Structure 1
Amino acid sequence: MESRIELTLTSPEVVHLCAADPILGALIDRVGPISQRLENDGFNSLASAIVSQQLSDKAASTIWGRVETALGGVTPESIIAADTDTLRGAGLSGSKTSFLRDLAERTLDGRLDIGRLGALPDDDIVAELTAVKGIGRWTAEMYLIFSLGRPDVLAIDDGAVRATVGWMYGFEGTASRDEVAFIGEPWRPYRTAASLYLWRGLALRRAETKAAR
């Protein structure tokens, strides 16, 4: 069964955010309801996140599709079985090939038990995941949000989140990590919902800017 994060203007998370921060509340009113699908395949989600690093959404989707085709499905076993030329031929860099192999090896030998991550606190999950080559805090936080649906994750390392906070709150340019963390304190314990609205808000602003040209 597909899992989703469902946010409406009457959801407890949204009611709290609107009351705690009128500026964010105004953005929420403009964006409206959000329905975010969660990725139930933990390994697939992490592998996709590694492949997508530092790429546009379009480029990431293209390369991920090539990797899936080349491997006949992305699993720990298929990654280990594939030779380097196959992975590189799908568009992966040498470093990302190494990162995927490390993720696969750790999954197969039990150093990373993806199935038990859901039972751990957020900080422990981040610690487990960042032990894998190529997985930093940002990737771990994306896993918390988009795979586990954890409710209180603020992606302060995310460029889009920082850009949205920058223009919403009148900064000259992108907000810093510390500025986002400070502004986001009143959003607890629903900072995941805030992050989702910040991402949608930036997309909305870009669309409005393009339409106005």
Structure 2
Amino acid sequence: MTDTIETLDHIRDGIAALAARERRFGDMFAVTGMPPLRRLPGGFPGLLRIVTEQQLSLASAAAIWARMQARHDPLTPERMLALADEDFRAVGQSAAKIKTIRALSLAVVERRLDLASLDQAPDDEIRRSLTAVPGIGPWSAEVYLLACLGRPDAWPSGDLALQVAAQAAFGLPERPDARAMARLAESWRPWRAVAARLIWAYYATLKRPLAARAGAPA
């Protein structure tokens, strides 16, 4: 068992462990192939990107993030606090995201949130520290653990794409909410982050034409 997910071999090990417990993981893997590593830089830039991507499609999130990088580099907390609301709106940030970015930036500048040292902390401590910042909820904290820190047991149970794909893959009568997703994944510890990567990859296949999805899990 690895402490962090750093390579595709780590993902392969996790999928093997998951498939040994639940055949549907093997079925999904047969459809998706190897899921992507999904790693981002840590620290403030990584968390800023995750905040930007909250509740957006991949395409919209990528476009806004590209504009943030092009217009507001360097992406430091000091720089974010110096920008006006109009600067954020010009790249597509919503009013709620602007408030969250300011709260996050202020927490870092005032050293109430030390991301460099926090990155070495246990998962639960990281969750508590991040969600103490106004506007940063469980989804953002879990995605930070998964994508920026590579923690193997991160589980963003509130993610809509995960919920939709889990309903399809596991034959559930309705889309599970965050609590139901937490219960569903309890037996997948300590590989829930690998489960998330595979289920996200399976979600992508659900949008393909039916003919291209022959053999998808029943």
TM over 0.5: yes
Which shifted more, 141-150 or 15-24?
15-24
Aligned to 1:137: 138
Moved more, 202-211 or 160-169: 202-211
Aligned 1:27-176 pairs, distance under 5 A:
27-176=28-177
Q: CA deviation at 1:21?
A: 0.4
Deviation at 1:4, TM superposition (A): 6.5
Segment drifting more, 12-21 vs 82-91: 82-91
Normalised by the size of structure 2, how large is the TM-score?
0.87
Amino acid at match of 1:127: R
- RMSD (Å) for aligned C-alpha atoms: 2.2
- Give me the whole-angstrom Cα distance separating, in 1, the residues matched to 2:85 and 2:147: 29
| 1:53-78 CA distance string (max 9 Å, x none) | 22211112222222222213311121
> 2:216: which partner in 1?
none
SS in 2 for 1:143: helix
Residue pair 1:9, 1:15 contacting (<8 A) in 2 also: no
2:11–2:37 contact (8 Å) kept in structure 1: no
Structure 2 counterpart of 1:99, one-letter code: T
1:151–1:192 Cα contact (<8 Å) kept: yes
Paired residue total: 210
Maintained 8 Å contact 2:5/2:151: no
Output one character per residue of 1:31-85: Cα deviation in whole Å (capped at 9) or x when no partner.
Answer: 2223414222421111112222222111122222222222133111211121222
**CA displacement at 1:8 relative to structure 2:** 5.0
d(CA) in 1 for partners of 2:177 and 2:95? 31
Cα deviation, residue 211, structure 1 = 5.0
Amino acid aligned to 1:78: R
Q: Which residue of 2 aligns with 1:182?
A: 183
Q: Which deviations, in whole Å up to 9, do the C-alpha atoms of 1:135-194 show, x marking residues without a partner?
A: 100000000000000011222111111111111121233123333223322211111111
* Greater relative contact order (CA < 8 Å, ≥ 6 in sequence): 2
1:10 and 1:99, CA in 2 relative to 1: closer, same or farther beyond 3 A?
closer
Other structure's SS at 1:119 match: coil
Which residue in the other structure is 1:24 paired with?
25
Listed as ranges, the gaps of 5+ residues in structure 1 are: none
Offset of residue 129 of structure 1? 0.4
Q: Would the aligned equivalents of 2:103 and 2:133 in 1 still touch at CA under 8 Å?
A: yes
Identity %: 31
SS in 1 for 2:7: strand
Q: Which whole-Å CA distance do the structure 2 matches of 1:32 and 1:66 have between them?
A: 32
